[in-house]
Amino acid sequence: MERALVTGGAGFIGSHLVRELLARGVTVRVLDNLSSGREENLQGLRGKVDFHQGDIRNAVACRNACQGVDIVFHLAAMVSVPQSVADPVQADAINIGGTLNMLLAARDQKVRRFIFSSSSAVYGDTDVLPTPETVLPLPASPYGVQKLTGEHYARNFTRLYGLETISLRYFNVFGPRQNPDSAYAAVIPKFLSRLVAGQSPIVFGDGEQTRDFLAVQDVVAANLLAAGTDNPLAIGEVFNIAGGQRISLNQLLVVMRDLTGRDIPAEYHPPRPGDILHSGADITRARTLLGFNPSLPLREGLRVALEYYAEQHRAGA
């Protein structure tokens, strides 16, 4: 792997992936329209990254970004379930139309491999826990529908055109540089940033819903394993990428209160449309075919994230 394109490379996960690729001596190009990604996420990388400010809904931008690269890591997306519920048309244009643009560009520019960032949202609410990839996906949100469509397109491009694709179904990713300020922010940055600020965390539902959290470092590792595998059984396939353990939001808050030293009660609000109750992954397939093994325990990952949000709070104080 000598030349890589990271779409959404100025975003939360993408910026971590970009830094690790550079550390491994890979030549990196980034395509990002900075709608949710931030230039400060790539701070210190000016001159080291070939940055293209462009939108995956623009086929020309996609084609130009794919020129001369060996591998594409496609992370650019509208990543919020609630936002996809509020605006399914725009979410569709980005998550399906944009992904198809990228696949076409990768095919036409002779890219060797395409790693698609999918989501556990494809499963919806399922009674099969932990959930293997063989469970029938029944998405409960437009976002889940869109990610599932992206997986099918990726598989099509492998079988019809010979583009090597691998789809990674991320569960609940967290870590430094995850934005807590959006109305659609993920739960861990929201909880940590509010506790650090001395405010009550806001829980949608009763807090007994469960999630399978994974530190961003392990998501980066999964992408690199997918990029580097020579196992033919992995090509054109999908893999759960998760920590492999479930925890309720109420239990998560107990750990966070302990780490922050702030015993602040949560505010409980009604559940949001499209949110699922329980989510947990069977990661046997990723372990077996990709060699994926999560390395950062939840508590340690939370401690690393807490340091980041505490520093952000001090900087803004």
Asked whether residue 45 is domain-assigned, the answer is: yes
35 and 142 part of one domain: yes
Kindly give the interhelix angle for 187-196 and 298-316, rounded to the nearest 10 degrees.
50
159 and 251 part of one domain: no
Domains: count for the chain = 2
Phi–psi pair at 167, nearest 5 degrees: -105, 135
Phi–psi pair at 189, nearest 5 degrees: -65, -35
Catalytic annotation, residues? 143
User: How do 210-211 and 237-241 pair as beta strands?
Assistant: unpaired
Amino acid at residue number 275: D
Q: What are the tens digits of pLDDT across the range 80-113?
A: 999 999 999 999 999 999 999 999 999 999 999 9
Instruction: Tell me which residue has tokens 């939840």.
Output: 298
User: 53: closest CA among 85, 86, 30?
Assistant: 30
Question: Which residues constitute the domain of residue 148?
Answer: 3-173+213-241
109 with 92: CB under 8 angstroms?
A: no
Q: Cβ atoms within 10 A of the Cβ of 223, count?
A: 27
Asked whether residue 291 is domain-assigned, the answer is: no
61 with 98: CB under 8 angstroms?
A: no
Residues in the chain predicted with pLDDT less than 50, given as ranges, are none
Asked whether residue 99 is domain-assigned, the answer is: yes
Q: What are the tens digits of pLDDT across the range 211-262?
A: 999 999 999 999 999 999 999 999 999 999 999 999 999 999 999 999 999 9
Beta bridge partners of 240: 169
94 and 229 part of one domain: yes
Phi–psi pair at 237, nearest 5 degrees: -115, 170
Q: What's this model's pTM, rounded to 2 decimal places?
A: 0.96
CATH number of the domain to which 230 belongs? 3.40.50.720
Instruction: Tell me which residue has tokens 């992995």.
Output: 234
